[in-house]
Structure 1
Amino acid sequence: MLKKIDNHNFHLETVSNLDEVENLLNWFEKQYQSHIPDKIWLQAQTVLIEGFTNAVRHAHEHHEQETLISLQLEINPHHLQIKIWDQGTFFDLTSALENLHTKISCNEIDLFERESQWGFIFFLKLRDEFGWSIDYTPAGQHNCMEFRSPNFYNI
């Protein structure tokens, strides 16, 4: 008999400080569920850290460290989704990713001299090679960066 897997939502609020990464990882690891493929779980862990780091370093670069970042992890039977809400200035992530993709394709960028672009390069790889969907939208006085894994059973 097949076991029914329910939807689960987990939330965390943390200050905008890179010292919180260890707490963030501990929180994330507590949410693990055995039906999630290891490859997806590892990608999601990296998404969480890159997305959080992006919010701290870029969205909140002119904010106090006490500025909150809200995180949500949704796990359902077929995929997982991570949402990260920041309080920074909105930007067009889709255009930024496409611009970077074009520069990489045309060899117009030296990846080893652009440490600040590595997170976006990782996001491009997730989207283009592993089937993740990535979006960044305004949500009231916040912005939401959303990552959705491919279907667990299609990988």
Structure 2
Amino acid sequence: MIDVNTELFKRTSPVRKIGIIENLKQEELSRISETTILRIVKETGRRIRGTRDYEFYVHPDRRKGNKWNSVIEGLWLYKGKLSVMVYVQFSNTDTSLIVPFNDFFRKGDFKGTIKRDDRYGNLQTYYYVYDEKDKVEVIRSFCLEYINTKYKSKLSNNE
């Protein structure tokens, strides 16, 4: 069994790393720790000028969601706290939200809500749900984005 927390940062070829990440099973991907994700954000994230904060965006082609009404845009490290950027789209509203990392990746399904006015001014509650399988695919997209961002020049030479 592969320990992804160390395998991701080993000195192996980026193509091999991508192959490893794409072939991982759900339980192996669910073992990726928050410290690994934090390292990914700090190494390849975009630093916000004048602060210690980082933004880590996933390329639109690699973004994963719940295959229904939302998609994960990336990660946000603000004042030492890691958060997930979620883009949610409904029939009459679309918005981006910041959800704490630990709340989103807690065991079990994540059930998020948004309260917005509809077109008549009535307050409506909208829901979006991520099950364990969806959350694992989100983690896979973070790892693939890390490899593609960090080793961009090496990957473009191989193509």
Same fold (TM over 0.5): no
Hey, which of these two has a bigger chunk of strand by percent? 2
Hey, which of these two has a bigger chunk of helix by percent? 1
Larger Rg: 2
TM-score tier, shorter chain, comes to under 0.3
Structure with greater contact order relative to length (CA < 8 Å, sep ≥ 6): 1
TM-score by length of 1: 0.25
